Amino acid sequence: MSDVVILGAGPAGLTLGCYLAKAGISSVILEKAHHPRPHVGESLMPSTVRVFREIDFLPIMEAAEFPRSGGIVYHPRGRKSTPIAYAEFPQDGVDQAYTYHVDRSKFDMLLLKHAESLGCQIVQGATAREVLFDEAACVTGVRVAVAGQEIVVPARIVVDAAGRGTRLGRQLELRRDHPVFDQFGLHAWFFDVDRGKRNTADYTHIFFIPELRGWAWQAPINSEITSLGLVADKGIYQESGLSVEDFFTKALGHNAALAKATRGAKRLNDLKGEVNYSYQLEQVCGNGWIAIGDAARFIDPIFSSGVGAAMHMARFAAERIQAALESGDVSRATFLPYEDKVLTDAAIWDDFIRLFYRLLPSFTHVVESPRHRLAVLQLIQGEVHSDSYAPILDEMRSLVTSVERADDHELRGELMEFPRR
């Protein structure tokens, strides 16, 4: 019997496997696909550097020569752009002024090989059919389809890191769609994108598109290829009557800076879509199980926070799993500190993105404030600190309220409504 069976060999599952291996805990990672596999999420936030260092992966990232990212530039519609250089914000465990833009197929493969080198047993082409429980509702293992047959893999703890498939969330009927947000994403790679000023050409660029209740990103993949993506409200797309291709092309013109950047762009692969954008499990742990990364929640990770948030969830989950195995108590009670943090962070993030989408300038307002810039950077990369997030949300909420109450406010036209589902 393995100590831990992890469902999914994405960044969350592989990071967890690395932490566990370094703690001397054996794990089997089951992945239904075969790496390398394409995946969206190319720009990494600085907080990932801390994790890379802790699991001894940072030298591999450096050797891979991924394009470096020195910061983020926000492009509100009709207003001055706001750059944030990572060098402005020293953070514990992050001693470099840059992060990385990655081809996720290459990045995930490197992380998989690293997890194997640390001792993780990884089985690709293995689909988890069912997580098995005993009469006391405690996990006993996983029924897996692999190589044309079904087998049972026993385990003391099962971790759902299977992404938006939410294996346990669906099996236990814990998955709930977000009551307000119904976003979807489109993305592809392009040649000949104008990356702007030399000093920010390697930055991640974020373009606000209020008409679509959304935003777009621009991130280098290498010296020639640039990733472009769009996140928009699904209802607006459906009401447009446009094809996916035409909707994406038209969206590029809704922000002047984005239109300029993509004027001569040539797409080199098909548009890919991301649906089921925002949801959360009612609980993210139980007797003998934990859900991490997108398998636990996916609440519109604006500004490429998804990978970083997933890795930090894996980091904390590893601590609780180690405590559970050392004590011999793998009950839900042992994992509750993990759940409390995940659900608390999710609630804060939910407040943040509601304010963000309600009035996009409310975000640039706090970003431009020297008093809030570091806390904003921590928040958008998934690091929620109770002593720093409240002033940010209060300031955003105050601006939203003032605009709502004044019909003649200059930002009145920027207010957005989200219909409940």
Question: Does residue 9 form part of some domain?
Answer: yes
Question: Does residue 88 form part of some domain?
Answer: no
Question: What is the band of 58 on the pLDDT scale with cuts at 50, 70, 90?
Answer: very high
Task: Please name every residue paired with 72 in a beta bridge, in sequence order, or none if there are none.
Answer: 84, 204
Query: Which two tokens mark 295?
Result: 């398998």
- Residues 113, 51: one domain? yes
Q: Is the pLDDT of residue 33 over 70?
A: yes
Q: Is the pLDDT of residue 63 over 60?
A: yes
As a whole number, mean pLDDT of residues 324-345 equals 95
Residue 207 sits at the vertex; the CA angle it makes with 38 and 239, to the nearest 5 degrees, is 80
Distance CA 239, CA 42 (A): 30
Lowest-pLDDT choice from 75-84, 92-101, 299-308, 397-406: 299-308
Task: Give pLDDT tens digits for 114-148.
Answer: 999 999 999 999 999 999 999 999 999 999 999 99
pLDDT confidence of residue 267: 96
Q: What percent of the chain has pLDDT over 90?
A: 60
Which domain-ending residue is among 287, 321, 344?
344
- Residues 246, 191: one domain? yes
Question: What is the band of 262 on the pLDDT scale with cuts at 50, 70, 90?
Answer: very high
pLDDT confidence of residue 419: 57
- Residues 269, 282: one domain? no
- Residues 265, 119: one domain? no
Query: Which two tokens mark 114?
Result: 């690293």
pLDDT confidence of residue 257: 95
As a whole number, mean pLDDT of residues 29-53 equals 87
Task: Pick the more confident residue, 79 or 149.
Answer: 149
Question: Does residue 349 form part of some domain?
Answer: no
As a whole number, mean pLDDT of residues 178-188 equals 84
What CA dihedral angle connects 39, 42, 45 and 51, to 10 degrees?
A: 50
- Residues 6, 104: one domain? yes
- Asked if residues 42 and 104 have their Cβ atoms less than 8 Å apart, the reply is yes
As a whole number, mean pLDDT of residues 165-169 equals 92
* CATH code at position 245: 3.30.9.100
- Residues 217, 157: one domain? no
Question: What is the band of 46 on the pLDDT scale with cuts at 50, 70, 90?
Answer: confident
Question: Does residue 93 form part of some domain?
Answer: no
Which domain-ending residue is among 251, 274, 297?
274
Quickly count: other Cβ atoms within 10 Å of residue 243's Cβ. Answer: 9
- Residues 104, 157: one domain? yes
What is the domain count for the chain? 3
Which domain-ending residue is among 309, 344, 379?
344
Backbone phi and psi for residue 149, each to the nearest 5 degrees, phi listed first: -140, 165
Task: Give pLDDT tens digits for 352-364.
Answer: 888 888 888 888 8
As a whole number, mean pLDDT of residues 168-173 equals 95
Question: Does residue 50 form part of some domain?
Answer: yes
Asked whether the whole model's pTM tops 0.75, one would answer yes
pLDDT confidence of residue 41: 64
Of 62, 83, 81, 64, residue with least CA distance to 72: 83
- Residues 188, 172: one domain? no
Question: Does residue 352 form part of some domain?
Answer: no
- Residues 314, 239: one domain? no
Q: Is the pLDDT of residue 42 over 80?
A: no
As a whole number, mean pLDDT of residues 180-203 equals 90
- Residues 31, 144: one domain? yes
* CATH code at position 44: 3.50.50.60
Question: What is the band of 384 on the pLDDT scale with cuts at 50, 70, 90?
Answer: low
What CA dihedral angle connects 172, 292, 345 and 326, to 10 degrees?
A: 100
Q: Is the pLDDT of residue 29 over 80?
A: yes
The range of the structural domain enclosing residue 221 comes to 183-274
Task: Give pLDDT tens digits for 198-231.
Answer: 899 999 999 989 888 888 999 998 889 999 999 9
- Residues 165, 209: one domain? no
Question: How far apart, in Å, are the Cα atoms of 191 and each of 101, 188, 197, 304, 395?
Answer: 16, 10, 17, 21, 40
Report the chain's mean pLDDT, rounded to a whole number: 90
Question: Does residue 91 form part of some domain?
Answer: no
- Residues 33, 107: one domain? yes
**Cis peptide bond upstream of 67, omega within 30:** no
Question: What is the band of 45 on the pLDDT scale with cuts at 50, 70, 90?
Answer: confident
Question: Does residue 225 form part of some domain?
Answer: yes
**Sequence-separated contacts (24+) of 55-59 with Cβ below 8 Å:** 55/15, 55/18, 55/19, 55/22, 55/114, 55/118, 56/18, 56/22, 56/114, 56/118, 57/18, 57/110, 57/111, 57/114
Q: 17-27: b or e for each residue (b if 16 or more CB lie within 10 Å)?
A: bbbbbeeebeb
pLDDT confidence of residue 410: 86
CB-facing half-sphere around the CA of 272: CA atoms within 13 A: 13
CB-facing half-sphere around the CA of 127: CA atoms within 13 A: 8
CB-facing half-sphere around the CA of 139: CA atoms within 13 A: 33
Q: What percent of the chain has pLDDT over 70?
A: 95
